[in-house]
C-alpha cells in the first residue's frame, strides 16, 4: 500500500458540517486538507495549494460543482476529482453521472461513512515512489 501521509486534498462543499466531517476523517488518516465553501473558493485555493485530489459537492451557491469540474479540467487536467452529492437526481438529472462525464474520476453519494470516503480517496490517489 502506498504512503499517503502529507498528501494535500481540497474539499469543496457549501455545507459546513459536511466539510468539517470529511476534513476530520481525512486529517485523522494523515492527509493535509484545504477547504472551500463553493467553486470560486476552490479555484482560488488550487492556484496556491499543491493538491493532488479534489472532492467537490455538486449543488453549491456562486459556482456549482459541475462548473468547478469543467474549470479544473481546463486549468489542472491531471488533478483527480471526486464528485459528491446528496441530491443525486433532480428532475431526472443524475448530477453524479454528469460529473463523471465532465471528468470526475469517481463519485460519492452523501451521506458517506468514513470507511467509504477513505476507500474512494485511496482508490484515486496517484501512487508514490
Query: What digits encode the pLDDT tens for the residues 18-47?
Result: 999 999 999 999 999 999 999 999 999 999
- The answer to whether residue 2 is domain-embedded is no
| Burial (CB count <10 Å: 0-12, 13-18, 19+), residue 92 | exposed
- Is residue 17 over pLDDT 50? yes
Q: For 110-121, write each residue's pLDDT tens digit.
A: 899 999 999 999
- The answer to whether residue 76 is domain-embedded is yes
Which residue is listed with cell 453521472?
97
- The answer to whether residue 1 is domain-embedded is no
Section 76-95 average pLDDT:
79
Q: Chain centroid to CA 61: how far?
A: 16
- The answer to whether residue 129 is domain-embedded is no
Q: How far apart are the first and last CA of the chain?
A: 11
| Total tally of structural domains belonging to the chain | 1
- The answer to whether residue 20 is domain-embedded is yes
- The answer to whether residue 3 is domain-embedded is no
Confidence of residue 90 (pLDDT cuts 50, 70, 90): low
Residue 54: per-residue pLDDT: 98
- The answer to whether residue 90 is domain-embedded is yes
Tally of residues, the chain: 129
Supply the mean pLDDT for the chain: 89
Structural element, H or E, at residue 53: strand 53-57
Q: For 52-80, write each residue's pLDDT tens digit.
A: 999 999 999 999 999 999 999 999 999 99
Confidence of residue 86 (pLDDT cuts 50, 70, 90): confident
**Domain of 118?**
8-124
- Is residue 87 over pLDDT 50? yes
- The answer to whether residue 107 is domain-embedded is yes
CATH number, domain containing residue 25: 3.40.50.2300
Amino acid at each position: 500500500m502506498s504512503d499517503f501521509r502529507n498528501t494535500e486534498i481540497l474539499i469543496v462543499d457549501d455545507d459546513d458540517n459536511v466539510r468539517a466531517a470529511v476534513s476530520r476523517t481525512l486529517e485523522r488518516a494523515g492527509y493535509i486538507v484545504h477547504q472551500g465553501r463553493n467553486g470560486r473558493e476552490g479555484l482560488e485555493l488550487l492556484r496556491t495549494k499543491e493538491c493532488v485530489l479534489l472532492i467537490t459537492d455538486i449543488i453549491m451557491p456562486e459556482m456549482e460543482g459541475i462548473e468547478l469540474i469543467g474549470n479544473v479540467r481546463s486549468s489542472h487536467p491531471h488533478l483527480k476529482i471526486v464528485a459528491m452529492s446528496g441530491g443525486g437526481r433532480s428532475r431526472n438529472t443524475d448530477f453524479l453521472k454528469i460529473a463523471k462525464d465532465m471528468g470526475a474520476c469517481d463519485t460519492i453519494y452523501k451521506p458517506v461513512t468514513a470507511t467509504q470516503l477513505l476507500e474512494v480517496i485511496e482508490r484515486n490517489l496517484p501512487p508514490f515512489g
